[in-house]
A = this chain, B = another copy of it.
Amino acid sequence: MATNITNTNSIDPRDVGTPDDWIPRHPEMVRLTGKHPFNAESPLSLLMDQGFITPNPLHYVRNHGPVPKLHWDTHRLIVDGLVSKPLNLSMNDIEKFPYKEFPVTLVCAGNRRKELNMIKQSKGFNWGSVAVSCAIWKGVPLNYILKLAGINLDDCINDPRYICFIGADKLPNDYYGTSIPLEWCLNDINDVILAYEMNGERLPPDHGYPLRVIIPGCIGGRMVKWLSRITISNEESDSYYHYHDNRVLPSEYDVDRANKEKIWYNPNYIINYLNINSVITSPAHNEYILLSNYFNNNNNNNNQMYTLKGYAYTGSGNKITRVEISLDDGKTWILAKLNQPELDHPVVLKRGINPIPRYWCWSFWSLTISFYSFIRCEEISVRAWDATQNTQPRNPTWNVMGMMNNSHFRVKINTIVQGSEFRLIFEHPTQPGNLSGGWMVKSEISSPKLLTFSKNSELSTNNSEKIPTFNINDVAKHNNEKDCWIIIDQKVYDCTKFLKNHPGGISAILINAGKDVTNEFNDIHSTKARDLLKNFYIGNLVVSHKAKM
């Protein structure tokens, strides 16, 4: 049953004071990187309630920095590089061109990263299992624009060509940009478009207003938002983010070794297409079965059945061909029922079904089983298969960027006995961001760790002088670009000199200047960042209440 999700006009209190304080955002979105930049996913059950199409306010968001404030009337798209007819197009120009409109499931390459972070912290923040959403996108086919610029497929035959996309967002390491092989865009069946509408509305600012790239079957990271420039080149994009993001490095690489060996530039490790993935959404995390309720209704068979549900997707336009459930840790697998609403969707039917089918959307699966199956079962696993006859691995493969986790999604079944009540409680592996819960989560990672201090503390300075102490009001005064202190885990740091070097941008620190940023820091920073932090340590916070261990 779909919850009625409408656009909101109000500014979330958490955005006040950030560069994004002009963008209305849905209050239920789970924020994953503190206040800013905005990276968020919908609660899983809320997303599933919506069905095939995700309402715009609940679509997951991945922003690298502040959202650029662009205007329909003044925005331009430049097309240049190895083209015979460079273009400079207004949004009104673009809107007059032929268009395609169809549903596409977008997925961030970091979907399900928190499961990897529970093994070992990666460089990335804690996506749960909802870095995935599905919207109807409308836009001009990119190959139409390319032909307008004088490009044709023959140009690709003699030497490699890349199409480099540049967004209007200003980031610490210059602009956000990336590239894909030109040929992928020229082939009409791949449905690459420059989108200006999402679910029948102009794009929301968080989704690239007024123009973004949509490359079905690819990871979200290649679908540049706030698109301002397309350059055709013999070389891949020179953007920092093209090389240092959206890569899967072998497990043995940490960032230092990756930098030393320049492995970021090894073409084997780029991610373009989505891999196969599947998730259990019913039972939800913390959902439970009260055994007496089932046993009390012996005459009603419906009451004794439970319907497992979930989603599955794969990349490159491949079809999900089966989904299977195991109740015995992979020893045996039961075929689930597949529901693929894509080809029956009114928009697709109106458009006409491609005679060479490409599957750009998620599938749903369900399996109705007797609730007896749960009573002696320790966990429920899901795996999907696609038309390439590949399937998912059982175990996750940790990688330093925390990308592309597609190991079997496993829901544990725990029991609670209270008096005569016997409950089976379902537990997902993690909960997104700094939310606690999940069988992979060893401790309440979101609670501030109250430490005791001694001269031998690993964070103590080299000399054995008395460590300075500050109270919260002392720290609060140092709240600007020229004098910026922060509190993390009861320690005070003077970050003023570090501001311009912060990989996440100056503003990400400044909006919290003078404050306790323990949660924000712990959510997204690597061990390396922790080491770096030590250089700016200036003393300890004095707290008025007794610290609890």
Q: Interface majority SS on A: helix, strand, loop or mixed?
A: loop
**B-side contacts of A393, CB under 8 Å:** 391-394
- Whether the pair A394, B392 counts as a contact (CB closer than 8 A) is no
**B-side contacts of A412, CB under 8 Å:** none
- Whether the pair B333, A251 counts as a contact (CB closer than 8 A) is yes
Interface segment among A98-106, A264-272, A304-312, A364-372: the answer is A264-272
CB contact between A390 and one of B157, B275, B334 (< 8 Å): that residue:
B275
- Whether the pair A269, B333 counts as a contact (CB closer than 8 A) is no
- Whether the pair B319, A355 counts as a contact (CB closer than 8 A) is no
Q: Does A387 contact B (CB under 8 A)?
A: yes
Q: Does A86 contact B (CB under 8 A)?
A: no
- Whether the pair B273, A387 counts as a contact (CB closer than 8 A) is yes
CB contact between A389 and one of B275, B332, B394 (< 8 Å): that residue:
B275
Q: Report the bound CA distance from A397 to B389 in whole Å.
A: 11
Q: Does A156 contact B (CB under 8 A)?
A: yes
Q: Does A161 contact B (CB under 8 A)?
A: yes
- Whether the pair B388, A316 counts as a contact (CB closer than 8 A) is yes
Q: Does A145 contact B (CB under 8 A)?
A: no
Q: Does A491 contact B (CB under 8 A)?
A: no
Report the nearest B residue to A234, measured CB to CB. Answer: B355
Q: How many copies does the complex hold?
A: 2
**B-side contacts of A269, CB under 8 Å:** 321
Q: Report the bound CA distance from A160 to B352 in whole Å.
A: 12
- Whether the pair A275, B388 counts as a contact (CB closer than 8 A) is yes
Name the distance in Å between A427's Cβ and chain B's nearest Cβ.
24
Q: Report the bound CA distance from A88 to B181 in whole Å.
A: 39
Q: Does A81 contact B (CB under 8 A)?
A: no
Q: Does A159 contact B (CB under 8 A)?
A: yes
CB contact list, A281-322 vs B, under 8 A: 315-316, 319, 321-322
CB contact between A268 and one of B183, B252, B321, B406 (< 8 Å): that residue:
B321
- Whether the pair B394, A333 counts as a contact (CB closer than 8 A) is no
Q: Report the bound CA distance from A441 to B154 in whole Å.
A: 54
**B-side contacts of A158, CB under 8 Å:** 355
CB contact between A397 and one of B157, B181, B355, B391 (< 8 Å): that residue:
B391
Q: With A268-B319, A321-B268, A393-B394 as given contacts, are A161 and B355 in contact (CB-CB < 8 Å)? A: yes
- Whether the pair B388, A273 counts as a contact (CB closer than 8 A) is yes
- Whether the pair B355, A271 counts as a contact (CB closer than 8 A) is no
**B-side contacts of A391, CB under 8 Å:** 393, 397
Name the distance in Å between A366's Cβ and chain B's nearest Cβ.
16
Q: Report the bound CA distance from A439 to B333 in whole Å.
A: 25
CB contact list, A98-126 vs B, under 8 A: none
**B-side contacts of A272, CB under 8 Å:** 387
- Whether the pair B397, A183 counts as a contact (CB closer than 8 A) is no
**B-side contacts of A160, CB under 8 Å:** 355-356
CB contact between A395 and one of B322, B330, B392 (< 8 Å): that residue:
B330
Name the distance in Å between A215's Cβ and chain B's nearest Cβ.
15
Q: Report the bound CA distance from A160 to B269 in whole Å.
A: 36
- Whether the pair A252, B388 counts as a contact (CB closer than 8 A) is no
Q: With A268-B319, A324-B250, A332-B251 as given contacts, are A183 and B389 in contact (CB-CB < 8 Å)? A: no
Q: Does A248 contact B (CB under 8 A)?
A: yes
Q: Does A404 contact B (CB under 8 A)?
A: yes
Name the distance in Å between A141's Cβ and chain B's nearest Cβ.
14
Report the nearest B residue to A155, measured CB to CB. Answer: B355
Q: With A324-B250, A389-B248, A397-B333 as given contacts, are A183 and B356 in contact (CB-CB < 8 Å)? A: yes
Q: Does A276 contact B (CB under 8 A)?
A: yes
**B-side contacts of A338, CB under 8 Å:** 268
Name the distance in Å between A367's Cβ and chain B's nearest Cβ.
13
Q: Does A416 contact B (CB under 8 A)?
A: no
Q: Does A335 contact B (CB under 8 A)?
A: yes
Report the nearest B residue to A160, measured CB to CB. Answer: B355
**B-side contacts of A251, CB under 8 Å:** 332-333
CB contact list, A237-287 vs B, under 8 A: 248, 250-252, 268-269, 271-276
CB contact between A181 and one of B316, B356, B388 (< 8 Å): that residue:
B356
Name the distance in Å between A148's Cβ and chain B's nearest Cβ.
21
Q: Report the bound CA distance from A319 to B390 in whole Å.
A: 15
**B-side contacts of A268, CB under 8 Å:** 319, 321-322, 338, 387
Q: Report the bound CA distance from A321 to B304 in whole Å.
A: 48
CB contact between A271 and one of B183, B324, B389 (< 8 Å): that residue:
B389
Name the distance in Å between A381's Cβ and chain B's nearest Cβ.
12
CB contact list, A372-393 vs B, under 8 A: 387-393
Give the 7 A-B residue pairs with the shortest CB-CB distance, closest first: A268-B321, A275-B389, A390-B390, A160-B355, A183-B356, A250-B335, A389-B404
